[in-house]
Structure 1
Amino acid sequence: MSASVEELQQCLQSALSSDPNIRMRAELRTSQLLAAPEAGSSLSQLISNQNWQLSLRQMACIMLRRFVNERWSPALPRFKGPVVPFEEKPPIRAAVFQGLSDPESKIRSLCAQALTVIANSDWPDEWPDLLDSLMTLLSSNSPLSVHGAMQVLQEFIKADLTENQILPVLQQLVPILLNILGSPDQHSVLTRARAVSVFRTCIETLFMVKQTHPQAVKQAGATIIPPWLDAFKYLMNIDPRQDVENTPNWDGIALRIQIYKALDAIYVPFKRLLEPHIDDILTFSLNHLTVLYPTFVHYYLMGEDAVPPPSENEATDLPNLFSAMIDLISLIARNGKGVAWFSAGDNARSLTVSVFNWIQITKEDEDEWSTNANAFVAQESEDTLSFSVRVAGLDTLAALLEAHPSTFMPTIQLVIQQITTQTNEARNAGNLDWWRPLEAILAAVGSQAEAILDWIDDEVMAGRPNPVDIELLLSTVVPNLLSLSDCPFLQGRAFVFASQYTKILPAEMAGQYLHATVQVLEASDASIPIKVSAIRAVHNFCKAIDDALLEPVAPRICQAIGPFLSLTTDYTLQLVLDALSVIVEIDGGKWMTPDLAGLLVHSVLDVWVKHHKDPLFISLLTDILASLAGSSAPGVYEHVVKESLPMLCAAIKRSTAEEPWIAGAAIDLMSSLMRGAPQAGLGSGFVALCAPDLFQTMQTVEDREVIQNGTTCLTLIIRKDYPQLQSWVDPATGRSGLDCVLAVIAKQLKAQDEAGGLVIGDLVVHLLRYAGEAILPVLPELLQALISRMPTAKTATFIQSLIIPFAFLLHNQRDAVLTHLESINVDSRPALDILVQTWCENEETFQGFWAQRISTLALSSLYVSERPSLQKIMVKGDLIIEPEARNVIMTRARRKQMPMQFTYIHFPVKALKLLLRELRLGGEAASSRIDPADVESDDGDGDWQDDEPTGADRIPGVNEEQMAWLSDYLAPNGKPFDDDEAMSSGEDEDLRNDPVSQMDMRAHLLAFFRECAARNTNNFAAAVEQLTADEVMVVREAVNQAQQATST
């Protein structure tokens, strides 16, 4: 098949047709022609011929880019083949390179994209002179050629240069770019802006290789950067108003934006070079914010005229310039620089006023937010990724307050007084926009409520005057704003502001604000801004106000907010759900009624039906449903179950393999009902209704999330109401509830993807805890299944699920379990061997407070059992570190060459090592809490080494206090060994209240070592001799402390 220029031209022309049928046929034919060897040459000829219409040439560029991606080289990620013949490539390269100087900017840009792809493949081997050619083009006097070359170089520097090539290339390139920047008569302002953008890419590339070539990069920076900083300062000192006044476009703003972005890029890798210029940069920035503000007011705040469009596709707007400037100011502040400038003269006040001015609500914002609740909520959401002047300004205010609180806290007080006075004057003068500055200052000060309140507390505690009088605002200014329905954004902001400072509101005033907010929620004529603001305020109030004030109005709040669940989406719906999740928890829901709970349940489930794929919404919905079910008010739990469980069961039944998330979410919501169930149980008929569909799903589903949710749900049924499960019989199969659970466990043990993770272990443990004697007939088979799966298990969580049930049984019925394990084999291998080796190899990866403790208790019980079968088992010991592997970063390649090797030791020695590890990692670890110099050796162990270093000496430069802190940090959740808060919040209440979780583990371990040393249990002295010197020292310290505790 040939692809002539004429045929390609006809196809591309037809592809531009408005008739979809003609266009589709042309696109199909073009795809066929692209497979021809000469297609690239034909397309390049079309591109080079400036007599063709622009749209046709653009289409040819796009097709050529596709051709290059798919046909040029197998090294390219989108290559499909066959490869372009070698002899076809040079003319295509030449044509594309020529396109960099084309009169049409769109052709230049498209050719630059195609050439960048070719360079990825061909440079330097097949196109060695490309870089020199680009430099020549960049140094030419043609603005068109300079534009095209810069587009290629920007991507080229990022992707194609090796670490060794970067420095020489940049030393050649950067002076050329600086020359372009300094030639306003020869190059347009947008070309000069692009030169700065390429320079910024050079700086970012230098930063990437700084660790590899620190000295060379430092020298390069010292040579390259200073002339640019001088040029930047010269350009920033030029009045920025000349770029926006009496000019057809604002292209000059693009240059200023790129300068600030470049300064931002310089700051981190070359901070010292920039520091001498920081005061000047801050001065220029404040001047920009001040003199450009009237233009911002005219074009953006008031929207009196449209912003002039850029002459090319570059950002030339003031919001982008503001963001670039303010980001740099934030960076300087957060790094603790510019201290003298911030505190000098009127700088802090002027900067604060400028930030407050620029973050005002614009006319465009006002129009959009009045009708689009999601847009209004998103601009203040912590999760939003959208850019806005307000978001950037508030971030800068946070940086200034964090870095220089003593300067900016009093400044905020002065600015509050200034702006409130000015707004009053504007209002009295009849200015309809008087409210904007006041709303902005309330938004700014409210956003920093936590930092301001903390600073006030610190100042008051230190005996100094209150730097920011928020109480005065709350008592004199804000109350007058709550009824301003003609200024809904200011009215709503007043409610939110008061809620953000609930901490300092007197109880009576807090109650007044709360009641006013509820009245707004209940008002039928309130606008979107005030309704949304009231919901946000209620959310804040409910987190901070005492339940005694909240409980009387909680039903009214729920009734007012409930309808929003069916009317809102996206950010607004998330706000409503966040608020409702806090409201339903007020005072444990004692105020809830069955009717109100029923209405909320229907609304919650309606949200789920509409948003069943959204994990964030489902997480909030499960919390709300659990709180509703957990209400202690009479009849509420039963009504919640009655209204929700049938629908959830039906959803599980309807779920298909193509939509497993429906069943997964329904099961999750059903579990939330169980979490709120009373101690008396799940209630009559609960299991009979949900079990058939739940078990059917668990036997057929393959989706990991559904498996985990279903396993967790079964665990909750066992925990909350095992008798009901035990008495239930599947009407379809005749199986008992216990048999159905065992079938689920069996399926998970056979599955290769190990989706059950930790939750399958929790299910087995709770089944053993609650089933009692009912489990005995099938226990041997269950244990055999767990053991059989261990040799092939791969993930740490799944291995833990296989081991922890044995730890639980061994802790409670050690001898019976050991006797059983000693009597069985798995694939000709003793079952006890498999268990012990798997356990010892993975014990250090166990997660969860209770799981770690039950493992420790079981290991200590196994050790003192002195069973001969255990004494013979060999397990992995310590890691063997070869001399050639010391102080070497083990990459993947090195790991293959030097695989990890371990010593092999008898199980009793390994058990001691693991138990010592638990003792050492505890907050009261012997290695840090016991000073070996204070311990007398009176236990007949004189043959043990006495010359071990103390805890502080074992790690050079680390003192005893630091060792103690480190030990605390390594304890569960960073808490001391027996701190109740160390228990994993993910563990259920049963395990948190279990005696294993409540016991004094440190005392247990110390007693264990004392008894073993005193009785030489399991040949303790000989086992200790096989420990490391550090471990021996800990044993000695533990034994001596235990003996001292006993004697006292």
Structure 2
Amino acid sequence: MDIPIDQDQHWLIDCLKASMEPYKDRRSFAETSLHQAALQPGFGTALVRVAANREINNDLRQISFLLSFYNWILLIAFVKQHWKVDDDGFIHPVASPTEKATIRQLLMLSMDDRIKRIRTVIAMVVTLIVNYDWPEEWPELLPHLLKLISDQTNVNGVHGGLKCLSIIAEDLDDKLVTKLVFVFFPYLHAIVSSPKLYDECLRVKAISIFHSCISILGSMTAVFKVETDEIMTSLLRSWTPQFLLILETPLHPKKPDGWDIKMVVLKCLMQLIQSFPTKAETEFVVVVASFWKTFASCSNIYVLSSVQGDEDPYMACDSDGSDKNIEMFAVQLLELLQTAIQNSKLAQVIGSELDDLLYYVIAFLQMTEHQVYKWSHDVNEYVADEDDATYDCRVSGSFLLEGIVHVFGTKGINSLIKASVTHYKNSCESKLKGSIYWWQVHEACLFALSSIADSLLEEQSSGLNTEGLTTLLHQMLMEDKEIGHTYPFLHARAFVTVAKFSTMINDSLKEHFIYAAVQAISTNTPPPVKADACQALIHLLPESKPEFIQVHIIGLLSSLSDLLNQATEETLHLVLETLQAAVKAGREQSASIEPILSPIVLNKWVQVVSDPFISIDALDVLEEIKNAPGCFRSFASRILPSIASILEQPLHQPEGLIAGSFDLLSMLLKNAPTDVVNAVFDTCFISVIRIILQSNDHSEMQVFYLYYDHIRFLILGFWSDPPQITNKILKC
């Protein structure tokens, strides 16, 4: 669109050019001039005329919309600051009705710009103005957008129109959405159903608008159930066949553009299941065969690209510039199934294919090439990803397994065991053929079974025949026993599996893995193996035979003490928890290592005292040492001098150490013999009272209340001799 350039616009163009200068003085002068011009009437009109003039240099036109990422959003800033008087951030003068109309008109005429980034910025401005003016003061916007998206000869217009329409669709309220869906949905359907006329990006955007609208309709079902059901019935009559065709198309590994449209269809199906379960029961049956094809092909591509790490053509960006990859697509599939099985009728449909479904789910649980690399180089990442609900196939797949066992019960468990047996046999065959990927399948089977261990053990107590599972576990673990840590992640998973299924594993095999875990901690094994060896010992030590444990306990405590000095972040919690279990299991033998162990743990506690989660773990270990036979008095005599020196100089201590010292004193006084109580009284009481009296709180009672949780055991311990308490307080 060519727009005559007047003198004011020439000045604006010169300022915009100067704002791009490398010379700071010229650039600063131009920026100041633009800020001052923004306060003059007509600035918005001049700005949009320059922005809409396609004969001006494209880079300059982009600058006129979005001069820089920081504070130079000229046209957007103008709308925010001068459009509505009572809006937050308003700055005088307010744009006149004529100026607003001109800006709206020129924005509409610019929506079909040939440059994508210009269309994006236009959509950003439209978003702001829509919030203020649409539909009352901008009724011509929607007809113009529909005209744009229906003009097959103007692809840029279709792109621009859909971009703006998608923004409007996200903000529709319950009154507008019921009126407008029948207005613009036929146009969207025409785009989706014409793959030869419109490219994948446009079809994806059209379906995304459909998704936004049915999400809004879904939120209305509680109040307008009849109305929304009627609307959805009408819409799905024409949209479901398109979904079927889209899912029917095979997933191509080297054409990730095809994933986008399938992804947004999956999101629509999930929204349908969540918001319109009755409708979903009918529609899902129609597309289920196509869905299984997509699911199976995705599994195969995922294994080849992400697990085996073949040459990776599978990374790209979607139409909005966001990364897309096969894992994101796979997660969407798994989450859709997780949602679907919550519907009883859909569960019946899925249940008919349960054996095949679980076979493919286990394939999705394999460690990816990226995970192996990342976890090999950072054990903290390994521990964190195993503990946290990260967004990947292993987590989504394990959630799906839990859901399947909950919904299908024994049938789900038997299907999982069957799928695991098949995968295990395949991994054995792959191993014999020399495949380097066999262990990932093996590990995925153990991971799958461990994910539902609690449910399996509950079913076993209810009479489930677990003979097949027990046999499978022993077969797999016996093989892992022979392999050792040649394959570190498989060996690590074996430790976790033994811990999870300890009641189903014979004593001989269990004791082998306890010994192997002790050896893994004390030798130069890969960090992930050490981490899961700790996990195993935490669970296995409390239930192991004392005579077996006592043989290894001194070496284990010594190794854990060394490991404590190396542990950081996520692994520190594991080591401390393992130490606690080892000290408790060692009992009498713990006394012999207390002089070495206590100072190490106490030093670590001081280092982490500002972290409430880790410091409480260290405190638990110290308490376990204290409670070990023969350790109480030696432990108290070892830590009291350190606590006393801390409390005597409270203002010179790091954050958290004073409060932590109160925790330590409280722990020490639990069930303490009289001589220990007296030692604490003589060493620390005056310092404690001084800290309370010198607190910055408004009154002594408030301070006392603040510290009460920390010192209640201290006070109770001293209360047996009130005169002595009085004398001590007077000395303060």
Q: TM-score, normalised by structure 2?
A: 0.86
Match of 2:375 in 1: 369
Question: Take 2:271 and 2:163, find their aligned partners in 1: how far apart are those partners?
Answer: 19
Residue matched to 1:695: 692
**What is aligned with 1:440?**
444
Partner of 2:3: none
Larger Rg: 1
- Residue in 2 aligned with 1:456? 460
Mapped contact 2:697–2:703 kept (Cα < 8 A) = no
Paired with 1:52 and 1:665, the residues of 2 have a C-alpha distance of 67
1:494 corresponds to which letter in structure 2?
Answer: A
* Counterpart residue identity of residue 540, structure 1: H
Helix, strand or coil at the partner of 2:84: coil
Q: Residue deviations 1:72-104, cap 9 Å, x none?
A: 325545x24235322432233333334432222
Q: Cα 1:417–1:98, aligned 2, differ >3 Å: closer, same or farther?
A: same
The 1:43/1:276 distance shift into structure 2, 3 A limit, reads same
Rounded to whole Å, the distance in 2 between the matches of 1:626 and 1:26 is 68
Alignment of 1:813-832 (within 5 A): none
The match for 1:721 is 718
Q: Deviations over 1:347-366 (max 9, x none)?
A: 32221111111221122211
Counterpart in 1 of 2:94?
Answer: 84
In structure 2, what is the equivalent of residue 641 of structure 1? Answer: 639
Q: Report SS of the residue matched to 1:292.
A: helix
Report the Cα offset of residue 400 of structure 1. 1.4
Residue 299 (1) aligns with residue 305 (2): yes
Higher relative contact order (CA 8 A, sep 6+): 2
- Count matched residues: 708
2:95 maps to amino acid:
P
- Partner in structure 2 of residue 561 of structure 1: 560
Distance 1:431 1:672, change over 3 A: same
Shift of residue 266 of structure 1?
A: 0.7
Q: Which residue type is aligned with residue 427 of structure 2?
A: T
For the residues of structure 2 that align with 1:568 and 1:662, how far apart are their CA atoms? Answer: 21
Q: CA offset at residue 519 of structure 1?
A: 0.8
- C-alpha separation between the residues in 2 aligned to 1:632 and 1:341? 60
Q: Which moved more, 1:668-677 or 1:491-500?
A: 668-677
Report matched runs for 1:63-462 at 5 Å: 63=73, 64-74=75-85, 76-77=87-88, 79-82=89-92, 84-86=94-96, 87-141=98-152, 142-159=154-171, 161-241=172-252, 244-245=253-254, 249-306=255-312, 307-310=314-317, 312=319, 313-314=321-322, 316-344=324-352, 347-381=353-387, 383-384=388-389, 386-460=390-464
User: 1:616 Cα shift?
Assistant: 3.2
Letter in 2 for 1:325: L
CA distance in structure 1 between the aligned counterparts of 2:196 and 2:227, rounded to whole angstroms: 35
Deviation at 1:566, TM superposition (A): 4.6
| Alpha-carbon shift at residue 705 of structure 1 (Å) | 12
Q: Distance in 2 between matches of 1:36 and 1:565?
A: 67
Between the aligned partners of 1:45 and 1:196, the Cα distance in structure 2 is 33
- Distance between the aligned counterparts of 1:671 and 1:54, measured in 2? 71
Identity in percent: 20
Deviation for aligned residue 1:581: 5.1
Detail structure 1 runs of 4+ shifted over 6 Å in the superposition: 17-29, 587-590, 704-708
Amino acid at match of 2:510: A
Q: CA deviation at 1:105?
A: 1.8
Q: 1:91 to 1:662 in 2, by over 3 A?
A: farther
How far did residue 372 of structure 1 move? 1.4
Amino acid corresponding to residue 44 of structure 1 in structure 2: V
C-alpha displacement at 1:257, in angstroms?
A: 0.3
Cα distance change of structure 1 residues 32 and 636 upon mapping to structure 2, 3 Å threshold: farther
Q: Which whole-Å CA distance do the structure 2 matches of 1:315 and 1:197 have between them?
A: 17
Deviates more, 1:487-496 or 1:94-103: 94-103
CA 1:690–1:45: 2 relative to 1, 3 Å: farther
Mapped partners of 1:585, 1:30: distance in 2: 73
Q: Is the 8 A contact 1:630 1:678 kept in 2?
A: no
| Inter-CA distance 305–654: structure 2 relative to 1 (3 Å threshold) | same
Aligned partners of 1:71 and 1:84 also within 8 Å: yes
Give yes or no for contact 1:589–1:628 (8 Å, CA) kept in 2: no
Instruction: Select which of 708, 718, 722 maps to 1:711.
Output: 708
Q: SS at the partner of 1:469?
A: helix
- Is the 8 Å Cα contact of residues 420 and 445 (structure 2) preserved in structure 1? yes
Q: Which residue in 1 is equivalent to 2:596?
A: 595
Q: CA deviation at 1:119?
A: 1.4
8 A contact 2:514–2:540 mirrored in 1: yes
- 8 Å CA contact 2:374–2:381 kept in 1: the answer is yes
**Runs of at least 5 residues in structure 2 that lack an aligned partner in the other structure:** 1-6, 67-72
- Give the one of 612, 617, 623 matched to 2:614: 617
Aligned to 1:606: 607
Change (3 A) 1:30 1:576: farther
Give, in angstroms, the shift of residue 324 of structure 1: 1.4
CA contact 1:359–1:393 (8 Å) conserved in 2: yes
Deviation at 1:467, TM superposition (A): 6.0
Alpha-carbon separation, structure 2, partners of 1:22 and 1:543: 75
Is the contact between residue 149 and residue 161 of structure 2 (CA under 8 Å) also seen in structure 1?
yes
Cα offsets for 1:1011-1043 (capped at 9, x unmatched) = xxxxxxxxxxxxxxxxxxxxxxxxxxxxxxxxx
8 Å CA contact 1:352–1:411 kept in 2: the answer is: yes
**Does the residue aligned with 1:321 lie in a helix, a strand or coil?**
helix
Indicate how the Cα distance of structure 1 residues 398 and 41 shifts in structure 2: closer, same or farther if over 3 A, else same.
Answer: same
Residues 1:514 and 1:173: Cα distance change in structure 2 (over 3 Å): same
Name the SS for the 1:334 alignment partner. Answer: coil
Q: 1:34 to 1:369 in 2, by over 3 A?
A: farther
**Deviations for 1:338-380, whole angstroms, at most 9, x for unmatched residues?**
4444454xx3222111111122112221111110112212222
Q: How far apart, CA to CA, are the structure 1 residues paired with 2:142 and 2:572? A: 54
For 2:487 and 2:494, how far apart are their aligned partners in 1? 11
Q: Find the residue that maps to 2:316 and give its secondary structure.
A: coil
Post-superposition offset of 1:425: 2.0
Let me know the Cα RMSD of the aligned residues.
3.6
Q: TM-score, normalised by structure 1?
A: 0.62
Q: Give 1:435 shift.
A: 0.8
Alignment of 1:866-945 (within 5 A): none
